[in-house]
A = this chain, B = another copy of it.
Protein backbone atom coordinates (compact mmCIF):
# COMPACT_ATOMS: atom_id res chain seq x y z
CA UNK A 1 0.00 0.00 0.00
CA UNK A 2 1.52 3.32 -1.09
CA UNK A 3 0.00 6.09 1.03
CA UNK A 4 -1.60 8.93 -0.93
CA UNK A 5 0.17 11.38 1.32
CA UNK A 6 3.54 10.03 0.17
CA UNK A 7 2.63 10.22 -3.50
CA UNK A 8 1.43 13.77 -3.03
CA UNK A 9 4.58 14.78 -1.19
CA UNK A 10 6.78 13.28 -3.91
CA UNK A 11 4.90 15.03 -6.69
CA UNK A 12 4.73 18.42 -4.98
CA UNK A 13 8.44 18.21 -4.28
CA UNK A 14 9.14 17.80 -7.99
CA UNK A 15 6.54 20.11 -9.52
CA UNK A 16 6.83 23.28 -7.43
CA UNK A 17 4.37 26.17 -7.53
CA UNK A 18 3.99 26.76 -11.27
CA UNK A 19 5.30 24.43 -13.96
CA UNK A 20 4.50 25.54 -17.47
CA UNK A 21 6.20 22.75 -19.40
CA UNK A 22 3.42 20.39 -18.48
CA UNK A 23 0.94 22.65 -20.25
CA UNK A 24 0.73 20.31 -23.21
CA UNK A 25 -2.61 19.51 -24.85
CA UNK A 26 -3.93 16.09 -25.83
CA UNK A 27 -3.61 12.51 -24.73
CA UNK A 28 -0.52 10.37 -24.80
CA UNK A 29 0.82 7.00 -23.81
CA UNK A 30 3.94 6.45 -21.78
CA UNK A 31 6.18 3.40 -21.49
CA UNK A 32 8.75 2.71 -18.81
CA UNK A 33 11.52 0.78 -20.56
CA UNK A 34 14.67 -0.89 -19.26
CA UNK A 35 18.01 0.26 -20.65
CA UNK A 36 19.93 -2.46 -18.85
CA UNK A 37 19.25 -5.93 -17.49
CA UNK A 38 18.06 -6.42 -13.92
CA UNK A 39 15.08 -7.19 -11.71
CA UNK A 40 11.90 -5.11 -11.70
CA UNK A 41 10.64 -3.56 -8.46
CA UNK A 42 8.91 -0.44 -7.20
CA UNK A 43 6.25 -0.58 -9.87
CA UNK A 44 3.44 -0.44 -7.30
CA UNK A 45 4.80 2.98 -6.33
CA UNK A 46 5.11 4.12 -9.94
CA UNK A 47 1.52 2.94 -10.49
CA UNK A 48 0.36 4.88 -7.46
CA UNK A 49 1.93 8.05 -8.82
CA UNK A 50 0.09 7.75 -12.12
CA UNK A 51 -3.18 6.71 -10.50
CA UNK A 52 -3.02 9.75 -8.23
CA UNK A 53 -2.83 11.83 -11.41
CA UNK A 54 -5.77 9.96 -12.98
CA UNK A 55 -3.50 8.43 -15.61
CA UNK A 56 -4.62 4.90 -16.53
CA UNK A 57 -2.09 2.15 -15.88
CA UNK A 58 -2.61 -0.31 -18.71
CA UNK A 59 -0.01 -2.85 -17.77
CA UNK A 60 2.88 -3.37 -15.40
CA UNK A 61 5.33 -6.13 -14.60
CA UNK A 62 5.13 -8.07 -11.37
CA UNK A 63 7.81 -7.23 -8.82
CA UNK A 64 10.67 -9.69 -9.15
CA UNK A 65 10.46 -10.17 -12.90
CA UNK A 66 13.86 -10.45 -14.59
CA UNK A 67 14.17 -7.81 -17.30
CA UNK A 68 16.40 -7.31 -20.31
CA UNK A 69 17.26 -4.06 -22.12
CA UNK A 70 14.24 -2.91 -24.08
CA UNK A 71 11.70 -4.64 -21.86
CA UNK A 72 8.67 -2.60 -20.92
CA UNK A 73 7.99 -2.39 -17.18
CA UNK A 74 4.90 -0.20 -17.17
CA UNK A 75 2.53 1.28 -19.72
CA UNK A 76 0.23 4.21 -19.04
CA UNK A 77 -2.24 6.34 -20.93
CA UNK A 78 -3.76 9.69 -20.13
CA UNK A 79 -3.61 13.42 -20.67
CA UNK A 80 -0.16 14.49 -21.80
CA UNK A 81 -0.09 16.99 -18.95
CA UNK A 82 -0.53 14.38 -16.28
CA UNK A 83 1.69 11.75 -17.87
CA UNK A 84 4.49 14.33 -17.99
CA UNK A 85 3.83 15.36 -14.39
CA UNK A 86 4.26 11.84 -13.12
CA UNK A 87 7.12 10.71 -15.34
CA UNK A 88 10.17 11.78 -13.35
CA UNK A 89 8.87 10.69 -9.95
CA UNK A 90 7.77 7.32 -11.35
CA UNK A 91 11.14 6.70 -12.97
CA UNK A 92 13.01 7.75 -9.83
CA UNK A 93 10.98 5.33 -7.72
CA UNK A 94 11.10 2.38 -10.08
CA UNK A 95 14.77 2.87 -10.92
CA UNK A 96 15.73 3.09 -7.26
CA UNK A 97 13.73 0.03 -6.24
CA UNK A 98 14.78 -2.00 -9.27
CA UNK A 99 18.41 -1.14 -8.53
CA UNK A 100 17.97 -2.62 -5.06
CA UNK A 101 16.21 -5.70 -6.42
CA UNK A 102 18.95 -6.18 -8.98
CA UNK A 103 21.74 -5.84 -6.44
CA UNK A 104 19.92 -8.27 -4.13
CA UNK A 105 19.55 -10.76 -6.95
CA UNK A 106 23.27 -10.55 -7.66
CA UNK A 107 24.04 -11.22 -4.02
CA UNK A 108 21.66 -14.17 -3.95
CA UNK A 109 23.24 -15.60 -7.08
CA UNK A 110 26.72 -15.16 -5.66
CA UNK A 111 25.66 -16.94 -2.49
CA UNK A 112 23.99 -19.74 -4.42
CA UNK A 113 27.38 -20.79 -5.73
CA UNK A 114 28.16 -22.03 -2.25
CA UNK A 115 24.82 -22.63 -0.60
CA UNK A 116 21.39 -23.71 -1.73
CA UNK A 117 19.61 -22.33 1.28
CA UNK A 118 21.33 -19.30 2.78
CA UNK A 119 19.09 -16.23 2.94
CA UNK A 120 20.38 -12.86 1.79
CA UNK A 121 18.82 -10.22 4.01
CA UNK A 122 18.63 -6.44 4.14
CA UNK A 123 19.12 -4.33 7.26
CA UNK A 124 17.56 -1.17 8.76
CA UNK A 125 20.10 0.85 6.73
CA UNK A 126 17.40 2.10 4.39
CA UNK A 127 16.69 5.52 2.91
CA UNK A 128 14.52 7.51 5.34
CA UNK A 129 10.98 7.69 4.03
CA UNK A 130 11.30 4.62 1.81
CA UNK A 131 11.56 1.72 4.28
CA UNK A 132 8.63 -0.24 2.85
CA UNK A 133 9.53 0.35 -0.78
CA UNK A 134 13.10 -0.78 -0.23
CA UNK A 135 12.23 -3.84 1.86
CA UNK A 136 9.78 -4.96 -0.81
CA UNK A 137 12.46 -4.41 -3.46
CA UNK A 138 14.78 -6.72 -1.52
CA UNK A 139 12.04 -9.35 -1.55
CA UNK A 140 11.57 -8.79 -5.28
CA UNK A 141 15.26 -9.55 -5.74
CA UNK A 142 14.96 -12.82 -3.86
CA UNK A 143 16.15 -11.51 -0.51
CA UNK A 144 14.74 -11.42 3.00
CA UNK A 145 13.45 -8.22 4.61
CA UNK A 146 15.05 -8.92 7.98
CA UNK A 147 13.37 -6.89 10.68
CA UNK A 148 11.10 -4.17 9.37
CA UNK A 149 11.45 -1.80 12.31
CA UNK A 150 12.66 -1.76 15.89
CA UNK A 151 9.39 -3.23 17.13
CA UNK A 152 9.47 -6.22 14.78
CA UNK A 153 12.33 -8.19 16.36
CA UNK A 154 14.46 -7.45 19.39
CA UNK A 155 18.16 -7.11 18.72
CA UNK A 156 20.29 -7.25 21.86
CA UNK A 157 23.42 -5.25 21.06
CA UNK A 158 26.87 -4.69 22.52
CA UNK A 159 25.81 -1.71 24.61
CA UNK A 160 23.01 -3.72 26.23
CA UNK A 161 25.42 -6.56 26.94
CA UNK A 162 28.06 -4.18 28.27
CA UNK A 163 25.59 -2.86 30.77
CA UNK A 164 23.70 -5.96 31.84
CA UNK A 165 25.90 -8.90 30.90
CA UNK A 166 24.97 -11.28 28.09
CA UNK A 167 22.68 -13.72 29.89
CA UNK A 168 20.96 -11.05 31.95
CA UNK A 169 20.41 -8.85 28.92
CA UNK A 170 18.71 -11.71 27.11
CA UNK A 171 16.53 -12.47 30.12
CA UNK A 172 15.76 -8.79 30.56
CA UNK A 173 14.42 -8.36 27.06
CA UNK A 174 12.75 -11.77 26.81
CA UNK A 175 10.65 -10.75 29.76
CA UNK A 176 9.70 -7.50 28.05
CA UNK A 177 8.78 -8.66 24.58
CA UNK A 178 5.75 -10.39 23.24
CA UNK A 179 5.68 -14.10 22.54
CA UNK A 180 5.08 -12.91 18.97
CA UNK A 181 8.48 -11.30 18.72
CA UNK A 182 11.81 -13.01 18.09
CA UNK A 183 14.94 -12.10 19.97
CA UNK A 184 18.30 -11.81 18.27
CA UNK A 185 21.66 -11.33 19.98
CA UNK A 186 24.69 -9.69 18.42
CA UNK A 187 27.97 -11.40 19.33
CA UNK A 188 31.56 -11.03 18.22
CA UNK A 189 33.07 -14.30 19.43
CA UNK A 190 32.30 -17.96 19.00
CA UNK A 191 32.11 -18.36 22.74
CA UNK A 192 29.51 -15.64 23.07
CA UNK A 193 27.51 -17.16 20.24
CA UNK A 194 27.16 -20.35 22.23
CA UNK A 195 26.35 -18.47 25.41
CA UNK A 196 23.63 -16.51 23.67
CA UNK A 197 22.07 -19.64 22.21
CA UNK A 198 22.23 -21.31 25.59
CA UNK A 199 20.48 -18.30 27.12
CA UNK A 200 17.57 -18.61 24.74
CA UNK A 201 18.18 -16.33 21.77
CA UNK A 202 16.17 -17.15 18.66
CA UNK A 203 18.73 -15.70 16.28
CA UNK A 204 22.48 -15.18 16.70
CA UNK A 205 24.06 -12.34 14.77
CA UNK A 206 27.73 -13.14 14.14
CA UNK A 207 29.09 -9.64 13.73
CA UNK A 208 32.26 -8.78 11.83
CA UNK A 209 33.63 -12.31 11.97
CA UNK A 210 35.86 -13.80 9.27
CA UNK A 211 34.42 -16.65 7.24
CA UNK A 212 36.55 -19.03 9.28
CA UNK A 213 35.23 -17.71 12.56
CA UNK A 214 31.75 -17.75 11.17
CA UNK A 215 32.08 -21.39 10.20
CA UNK A 216 33.33 -22.22 13.67
CA UNK A 217 30.40 -20.41 15.25
CA UNK A 218 27.94 -22.14 12.97
CA UNK A 219 29.31 -25.51 14.02
CA UNK A 220 29.09 -24.50 17.65
CA UNK A 221 25.48 -23.44 17.18
CA UNK A 222 24.45 -26.68 15.48
CA UNK A 223 23.50 -28.03 18.86
CA UNK A 224 20.87 -25.34 19.39
CA UNK A 225 17.57 -24.53 17.73
CA UNK A 226 18.72 -21.10 16.57
CA UNK A 227 19.18 -19.21 13.34
CA UNK A 228 22.72 -18.04 12.61
CA UNK A 229 23.21 -14.76 10.79
CA UNK A 230 26.46 -13.30 9.47
CA UNK A 231 26.82 -9.55 9.12
CA UNK A 232 29.36 -6.74 8.91
CA UNK A 233 30.80 -5.33 5.71
CA UNK A 234 29.93 -8.33 3.56
CA UNK A 235 29.80 -7.44 -0.14
CA UNK A 236 29.29 -9.16 -3.49
CA UNK A 237 32.90 -10.34 -3.43
CA UNK A 238 32.86 -11.88 -0.01
CA UNK A 239 29.34 -13.20 0.10
CA UNK A 240 30.24 -16.63 -1.37
CA UNK A 241 32.83 -17.23 1.32
CA UNK A 242 30.23 -16.55 4.00
CA UNK A 243 27.63 -18.60 2.20
CA UNK A 244 30.04 -21.53 2.34
CA UNK A 245 30.16 -21.39 6.14
CA UNK A 246 26.73 -22.92 6.56
CA UNK A 247 25.28 -19.78 8.11
CA UNK A 248 21.48 -19.41 7.69
CA UNK A 249 21.31 -15.73 6.86
CA UNK A 250 23.74 -13.17 5.50
CA UNK A 251 22.69 -9.56 5.92
CA UNK A 252 24.11 -6.74 3.84
CA UNK A 253 23.44 -3.04 4.38
CA UNK A 254 24.71 -2.29 0.89
CA UNK A 255 21.60 -3.84 -0.66
CA UNK A 256 19.65 -0.77 0.30
CA UNK A 257 22.16 1.98 1.00
CA UNK A 258 24.54 1.57 -1.91
CA UNK A 259 22.76 -0.05 -4.84
CA UNK A 260 23.01 2.08 -7.99
CA UNK A 261 19.75 2.83 -9.78
CA UNK A 262 18.66 0.53 -12.59
CA UNK A 263 18.80 2.54 -15.79
CA UNK A 264 15.24 3.06 -17.02
CA UNK A 265 13.81 5.46 -19.54
CA UNK A 266 10.31 6.78 -19.99
CA UNK A 267 9.06 7.13 -23.55
CA UNK A 268 5.96 9.10 -24.40
CA UNK A 269 3.95 9.18 -27.60
CA UNK A 270 3.66 6.33 -30.06
Contact = CB atoms under 8 A, between A and B. Distances in A.
Interface of A: 1, 3-6, 8-24, 84-85, 88-89, 91-93, 95-96, 99, 119, 121, 124-132, 135-136, 139, 144-157, 159-160, 162-163, 173, 176-182, 184, 203, 225, 227, 229, 248-249, 253-254, 257-258, 260-261, 268-269
A93 B180 CA distance: 25
A129 B13 contact: yes
Most B Cβ at <10 Å: residue of A12, A99, A162: A12
A119 B177 CA distance: 11
A97 to B, nearest CB: 10
A132 B18 contact: yes
A125 B92 contact: yes
B179 A248 contact: yes
B249 A257 contact: no
B131 A180 contact: no
A85 B149 CA distance: 11
Contacts of A19: 149-151
Contacts of A157: 21
Contact of A11 (B1, B154, B180): B1
Given A17-B148, A24-B160, 17 more contacts: A3-B12, A5-B5, A13-B131, A16-B16, A16-B152, A18-B151, A19-B149, A21-B154, A21-B173, A93-B128, A95-B125, A96-B128, A99-B257, A125-B261, A144-B180, A162-B269, A258-B261
A84 B124 CA distance: 14
A249 to B, nearest CB: 6
